[in-house]
Structures are given as C-alpha cells and as structure tokens.
Amino acid sequence: MEPRSDSRPRFPLADRVHAALGAFPLAVYMLLHVVETWPALSGRMHFGPRLRATTTPAWLAAKALLVLLPLVVHGALGLRRALQRREPLVEAALAPYASPGLRTLQAVTGALTAAYLVVHLAELTVPLWRGGAPDQLYETLSLRAGTPLSIALVSIGLAAV
C-alpha cells in the first residue's frame, strides 16, 4: 500500500517553530498574568499575597524560561523571516492563505506587541525582579492604570497581542 500524499505544502521547520513560539508562550503569559493580577480588583490586601507567591525566584525563573525566552526567540525568527527575501512563487507555495497585507499586519502587530511587552516588563516586572515589594507595584498600578494615556496604550498593546 502506497502512503497517502498530502497536497498541502509543508512549512519549513523554522516557520513552524516561529509560529509555535509566538502563540503558546504568549497565551501562557496572558493566562498567568490574569491569574496573578486579578486579586488587585479586591484591593491591596488580596493583591500582595498573590503577587508575593508568584514573584519568588523560582517563579520568576520559570516565567523567564517558559515565556520570555521563547518570545525572544520568536521575535528573532520573525525578524529573520521578515528580512529574508523569498521569490514570490516560493512564498505563495509556502503560505497560500497569506496575502502581503496579512503579512504586513502580522509584522505591525508583532512589533507593537514586542514594544508593549518590553515597556510593561521594564516598568512593572523588572522592579519586582530587583527586589521591589508587591505593595509598591500596587501603588504604581493604582496611580497609573486609570489615566487616559495608560488606558489607550494598554488597549493598543492588548489589541496587538
């Protein structure tokens, strides 16, 4: 019996790894982030203990290994892919569903997502890694989160995600 051949093109390994490293770590990050910050809606008394539990050195290392590292590799592969010049016929065979407009949209939303995550990490997460207290983070969030500029930037960042 002859093996069945699939008429669909098989994407290169780098493209499949790129897609997986973007989708899964970002989904894990979003889920963990909601679980981690949800208690803030009930006040500082509930937010502090949850954040203290998820900012231990072991948790931070796990987040860096399971979320940040894959996203950095995803970004590098995406940049490499964007800079690569493929012939139009080869590109069409590899991704028959992807139009130039869709690829541009993916590049723009990827860049916006990267910028959003870098600013978010620098402003809110790095201080925790450097030994900042969750109470300080709660104060930072309570002062900044409700401003029109913050709401607009977070909305753009989350829409890009």
pLDDT in tens, 38-79: 888 888 888 888 888 888 888 888 888 888 899 899 888 888
Q: Are 113 and 160 in contact (CB under 8 A)?
A: yes
Report the 10 Å Cβ neighbour count for 87: 8
Q: For residue 61, give the 3-state DSSP assignment.
A: helix
pTM of the model: 0.72
End-to-end CA distance of the chain: 46
Give 81-115 pLDDT, tens digit per residue. 878 765 554 555 555 556 778 878 888 888 898 89
Residue 111 dihedral angles phi and psi, to the nearest 5°? -65, -40
